[in-house]
Structure 1
Amino acid sequence: MDNYFEVGKILTTHGLKGEVKVNPITDFIEERFTPGTSLYIGESVDSSKQEVVVQRARMHKQFVLVIFEGIDNIDEAEKIVGKKIFVKESDRQELEDGSYYFKDILDLPVFDAETGEKLGILNDIETPGANDIWEIKPENGKSFWIPNIASVVKKVDLDNKRIEVSLLEGLRDED
């Protein structure tokens, strides 16, 4: 059985000729949306998926406008709006050292690098601009966000399934 991971979400149609607006969730936008690339559309990672092939893609602001082969009018495009886009795990790109796929680090426990105290789990990742921000969800209390920068994230250890961070003053509201 193939494993899949999410690389985007279809937000809306764009025009009348089957083009859709995609919010990409990948650092490999050019590779993922190259003409001829096979992608898979579905409701969730566990749901059945429809294979689609990228016919044409172009950037538009922070979104990708995509036309898939066989989806050539607005009526066909509307059927896939709201669905997620996946790639097979076997199609994952090799990453350079210090880079990680979101699915490999989400749900990992996060520890204070100095005290060893468990702070919570990595619950969510957002990519608003220059660097990602990570939501840490403690077992009790309020979630908080940290920037994924070298002065905060000290170590991501996939082999031992743990993340070590050094919290800067004010990152965690402990009230």
Structure 2
Amino acid sequence: MEYYDIGKVVNTHGIKGEVRVISSTTNPQERYFKGATLTWFGKDGESEELTVLTHRKHKNFDLVVFEGYDNVNYVEKFIGGTLRVSEDLLLELPDNEFYIHEVIGSKVIIEESGEEIGTIKEILSPGANDVWVVQRPNKKDLLLPYIESVILDVDIENQVVKVHIMEGLD
């Protein structure tokens, strides 16, 4: 079964078992609701299925408590691990939205010329806009901001992304 990242446990918070999560999901309220099932994956390949007891926002973090883990000593082992959901728990997305794993590996084509320039290797989220990393043969990776004037069309079904390379991007 495939699992998809929704957040990274970066620390504990207080003494009552809360963990600080930096979320990679855009829908934390639909992921961390009471009773939600998440799977924690540790650095050494270990994993554990967890059930959310409580969730709240605090600064840039999602604070989560899991059923059966009401003490800081029990949750310290989760630090550095990743929270994921199984593919059967993926949410239905609105039109023109997609999961990162659906975009990775897509061919990138320049809209104007039809030239294929590479494939999407990874998606970074450094700030205001995501940055799509295009792996190109015999060239440096191309970094494309995910903005309307650059990423023109994303065809998930055919794994094709049409782009406009603005002056200065390459």
What TM-score, normalized by structure 2, do the two folds share? 0.91
| Structure 1 position 43, deviation (Å) | 3.5
Residue in 2 aligned with 1:79? 77
How many Å separate the matches in 1 of 2:158 and 2:71? 49
* 1:104 partner letter: E
Residue in 2 aligned with 1:112? 110
How many Å separate the matches in 2 of 1:100 and 1:78? 33
Question: Cα deviations across residues 122-160 of structure 1 (Å, max 9, x unaligned)?
Answer: 122223444322122212222232121221111111221
Residue in 2 aligned with 1:40? 39
* 2:60 partner letter: Q
Residue in 1 aligned with 2:11? 12
1:96 to 94, 106, 123: 94
5+ unaligned residues in a row in structure 2: which ranges? Answer: none
1:163 to 158, 161, 167: 161
1:65 to 57, 63, 66: 63
Residue in 2 aligned with 1:126? 124
| Structure 1 position 95, deviation (Å) | 0.9
Does the 8 A contact of 2:134 with 2:141 survive in 1? yes
| Structure 1 position 48, deviation (Å) | 5.4
* 1:50 partner letter: E
What TM-score, normalized by structure 1, do the two folds share? 0.89
5+ unaligned residues in a row in structure 1: which ranges? Answer: none
How many Å separate the matches in 1 of 2:15 and 2:153? 48
Q: How much is the aligned-residue C-alpha RMSD, in angstroms?
A: 1.6
Residue in 2 aligned with 1:148? 146
| Structure 1 position 89, deviation (Å) | 1.1
Partner SS, residue 29 of structure 2? helix
Identity over aligned pairs, percent: 37
* 1:53 partner letter: T
Partner SS, residue 79 of structure 1? helix
* 2:12 partner letter: T
How many Å separate the matches in 1 of 2:47 and 2:160? 32
